[in-house]
Chain A
Amino acid sequence: KAGVTQTPRYLIKTRGQQVTLSCSPISGHRSVSWYQQTPGQGLQFLFEYFSETQRNKGNFPGRFSGRQFSNSRSEMNVSTLELGDSALYLCASMSWDARVERHNEQFFGPGTRLTVL
């Protein structure tokens, strides 16, 4: 079974621009979560989507938004980029089905490295 995929792997943007990152979960996984990783703040939770609904949100400004499609693929959008948004953005998918081995475990994608200049 294919793992979590994220595109693009690398992005360079300038301040004020906006960016969209994409995440395709493991087949059958309905939960997709996003995390931001920076040297200063470590790993921080952004939000979680389940069945196209955001059901959990971290403490990030409204410039960070996301959505999930009917096939469980998720996108994350950051508007009006700031230098501090430079980070590795990780996506993780999880199965809620108790019949699935290793359900309630989050499997991570390789990440998207965003650099804001």
Chain B
Amino acid sequence: AQTVTQSQPEMSVQEAETVTLSCTYDTSENNYYLFWYKQPPSRQMILVIRQEAYKQQNATENRFSVNFQKAAKSFSLKISDSQLGDTAMYFCAFMNRPQGETSGSRLTFGEGTQLTVNP
């Protein structure tokens, strides 16, 4: 079974600064996806960024980027130029790469990191 661990329950950052959220995972699989989801107070789960394990290049989405270390099973999220709207709970999640229509898919989530951006 896969496990995902987020060791930082809470973090805070000043507006316009950079913050890094940590995530480690454990799996015996070789083909998988890693995700960061954001859940603001509205509770709507929003996908921030996705990384495919077979890709060595780190994913980036505007102000969001990841540091994917496959051997170390580490997947951290860097938020640059933090904005007040980035205040939310952030979840790291793992999903096996589906092998055809007969294989199931499920997300395994970490415990979450509550990020507060201060003005």
Q: How far apart are B45's CB and chain A's nearest CB, in angstroms?
A: 4
Given A42-B111, A42-B112, A43-B91: A31 touches B44 (CB 8 Å cut-off): no
* B109 interfacial by beta-carbon distance below 8 Å: yes
CA distance A105 to B51 in the complex (A): 11
Contact B104 A48 (CB under 8 A): yes
- Considering the complex, give the chain B residue whose CB is closest to the CB of A44: B109
CA distance A56 to B1 in the complex (A): 14
CA distance A35 to B91 in the complex (A): 14
Give the secondary structure class of A's interface: strand
Contact A96 B106 (CB under 8 A): no
Number of interface residues of A (CB under 8 A): 25
The proximity string for A residues 32-64 relative to B, scoring 1 for CB distances below 8 Å and 0 otherwise, is 010100000011010010110001101000000
* Chain A hits for B47, CB < 8 A: 105-107
The proximity string for A residues 2-43 relative to B, scoring 1 for CB distances below 8 Å and 0 otherwise, is 000000000000000000000000000001010100000011
* B22 interfacial by beta-carbon distance below 8 Å: no
* A81 interfacial by beta-carbon distance below 8 Å: no
Given A42-B111, A110-B44: A104 touches B97 (CB 8 Å cut-off): yes
- Considering the complex, give the chain A residue whose CB is closest to the CB of B103: A55
Contact partner of B43 among A35, A94, A111, CB < 8 A?
A: A111
CA distance A96 to B101 in the complex (A): 7
A residues neighboring B (CB under 8 Å): 31, 33, 35, 42-43, 45, 48, 50-51, 55-56, 58, 88, 90, 92, 94, 96, 104-108, 110-111, 113
